[in-house]
Amino acid sequence: MGFVLGIDVSTTATKAIVVDAEGVVRSVGTSEYGFETPHPLWSEQSPDQWWDAAVEAIERALTIGGLAGADVEAVGLTGQMHGAVLLDRDGWPLRPAILWNDQRTGAECDAIRAAVGPERLIAITGNDALTGFTAPKLVWVRDHEPDVWQRVAHLLLPKDYVRLLLTGDYAVDKADGAGTLLFDLAARDWSAEVVAALEIDRAWLPQTFEGPQITGTIGAAAAAATGLQVGAPVVAGGGDQAANAVGLGAVAAGTVALSLGTSGVVFATTDGPLFEPRGRVHAFCHAVPGCWHMMSVMLSAAGSLRWLRDSVAPGVAFADLVEPSAGVPAGSNGLLFLPYLSGERTPHADPLARGAFVGLTLAHDRRHLTRAVLEGVAFGLRDGLDLMVAAGMPAPRQIRASGGGTASPLWRGGRGLVSHRGGRLDQHGHGHAGGRARTRRRALCRGARAVPRALPGAGADVPADVTRDARVGPASAVELGELLLTDLAR
């Protein structure tokens, strides 16, 4: 076998990653871009930015790897979820794409709940109506841009616009489709009931595919632009978090993927379509056929620590900020931190939620502030896990971590998500695009269900015998998050 190529269409850059037959990264190419905020709360991008960046990233990856396009045997896609890409009958964008972080659609979320029924909406889709999802964006366009609405012929998600230009096919994977709020979670396809209630033409919606399924092949025009070979298969792939989970090997119940960056995402694979009755955690289809997942999203995880550093210790290295806090007792001598610096999604789903230090006294110093931030983040992550388990998710046994926050020993304390004896911590770098490459490899070599449960190089043991107090926080700063699953093992 030759090489496979993963393309990750994110909010700020498109990355192309080449992986060999053993799952080893051969090369990575990246092309960056920005997004527009033409009005407060709006967030938009031109779809053509993604294509231009994909072409550049692919060329860079091939050049860096010393490869020809013919060396790439298959391609797959991942990227930012929830964006609304509206196209005319010829496939041309009708307006800039409305992105996942756009917050203009609060009223439209209320309208969706009224049209479908709040309980019925969650029962069908697994989710409440949130401003980040695709469906509220469509309702906004319907009600505010009727001239655009009348010309819509196709709806795609961001990565699938790149797929369209690669193959000429309108397609979406089931993991990304489930993030639109238009999916029947159990049926793993579009919900006729929700689509009709929102006055959306079913003909606009693309065919859905399981992650490893082939959706088309590289066309002549795309081959000329990218250097890839005509006829190379392109598989469905998955949304960024599902792809990250595949890249980390979180493909079976009991394994959790933690992405710890500015935000914190706890992703847990399930064997069935579970959902939290009030929609306080997300429930989507997995990129792995026949699997689903639950997901909590904390908006300010490592971002909370960055805020603290920039506010009270600008220029100080994170390690120098954190190390002294290891000597502070659990509970930070009564100081609590609420990590809602950007509002919150899980468990409160409130864009107006605000952060706070509570219990501050003259006895507290920078060490206590740091410790309190770490503990607040740990409890925030635990909130999401508790909701998942209460909804029927198996108690997690293992965490596989990625993201910049896992680079330091302290943030790797988040491995406490697997505080049982025998738990393991696995760390990986190129989660999203690497996951798409691994999915393609399995699709070509072994079939859709053969995604491994452990990846090459994985497997650092996690000690589980640390004394801790689950009421007030982890026993030491280096064990951030040890409390998160302590109770779940009982």
**Strand bridging mode 85-87 / 154-156:** antiparallel
Helix (H) / strand (E) element for 192: namely: helix 192-197
Question: What residue spans of 313-418 are helical by DSSP H?
Answer: 318-322, 366-390
CB 288 within 8 A of CB 438: no
Q: Confirm whether 52 is a catalytic residue.
A: no
Phi, psi dihedral angles at 365 (to 5 degrees): -135, -165
Contacts of 70 (CB under 8 A, 6+ apart): 229
Q: Where are the beta strands (DSSP E) in 169-291?
A: 171-173, 183-184, 189-190, 207-209, 214-217, 233-235, 255-260, 264-270, 282-285
405-433 burial by CB neighbour count: b if 16+ within 10 A, else e?
bbebebbbbbbbbbbbeebbbbbbebbbb
Q: Distance between CA atoms of 360 and 338, rounded to whole angstroms? A: 13
Q: Distance between CA atoms of 16 and 434, rounded to whole angstroms? A: 9
Beta-carbon neighbour count of residue 61 at 10 Å? 27
CB 184 within 8 A of CB 285: no
DSSP label at residue 401: E
**Strand bridging mode 233-235 / 72-79:** parallel
CB 212 within 8 A of CB 442: yes
Of the listed 102, 173, 184, 240, which one is catalytic? 240
Residues designated catalytic? 240
